[in-house]
Amino acid sequence: MLALIFRSVSRGLMGMIPLVFTVLFNFGVMGFFGVHLDIGTALVSSIVIGIGVDYSIHYLSSMFHELAVGTELHDAISNTVRRSGKAITSNAVTVGFGFLALSVSEFLPLVTLSWMIWLTLNISALATMILIPALAVTLTDVLKLVPSQND
């Protein structure tokens, strides 16, 4: 779907990297702390992917807009972090605290769900703001983010 939104398979894959990292992080934390897969923890990945993809779309749309108007790559990344970073961070904090309201439940799967979503939402926001710029700088030619010298 991201490939359709950005009209490029490589740009679509770029937006999926933070999501893959977040899901792997989620299951890594579950394994490390011995959290078993149950009805609550099974939902975490799907919820976080659904919310985390918005972070990727928001970040990438802003960065691609900056690049389209002729901003240099490093400046485009800086402007995107400054603008979209605030929105992504405030969304992660707000939605995360909304899910933390479930942590006062007496039903243990809801408590686990709330803390896992809170953690992975924040990791997803961080991964978006760290991994996408790193990929953009590292793979500029592959992603065709800036026109080549030969064009």
Q: Could you tell me if residue 50 is inside a domain?
A: yes
Candidates 88, 86, 115; CA nearest to 99 is 115
Q: Could you tell me if residue 149 is inside a domain?
A: no
Q: How many domains does the chain have?
A: 1
Element (H, E) at 2: helix 2-6
Which residue blocks in 33-107 are alpha helix, DSSP H? 39-68, 73-100
* CATH label of the domain that carries residue 112: 1.20.1640.10
**pLDDT of res. 4:** 79
**pLDDT of res. 151:** 47
What three-state secondary structure class fits 34?
Answer: coil
Q: Could you tell me if residue 31 is inside a domain?
A: yes
Phi, psi of 38 (to 5 degrees): -135, -170
Residue type at 68?
Answer: A
Q: Could you tell me if residue 21 is inside a domain?
A: yes
Tokens of 15: 């937006």
**Do 120 and 92 form a contact (C-beta atoms < 8 A)?**
no
User: Which residues of the chain register pLDDT less than 70?
Assistant: 142-151
Locate tokens 């770029």: which residue? 14
Q: Could you tell me if residue 78 is inside a domain?
A: yes
Give CA–CA dist 57/113, Å, rounded: 25
**pLDDT of res. 109:** 84
Residue type at 92?
Answer: A
Domain with 51, as residue range(s), is 2-143
Give CA–CA dist 52/23, Å, rounded: 10
Q: Could you tell me if residue 135 is inside a domain?
A: yes
Polymer length of the chain: 151
Kindly tell me the burial class for residue 46, based on how many C-beta atoms sit within 10 Å of its own C-beta (0-12, 13-18, 19 or more).
exposed
Q: Could you tell me if residue 148 is inside a domain?
A: no
pTM listed for this prediction: 0.87
Q: Could you tell me if residue 151 is inside a domain?
A: no
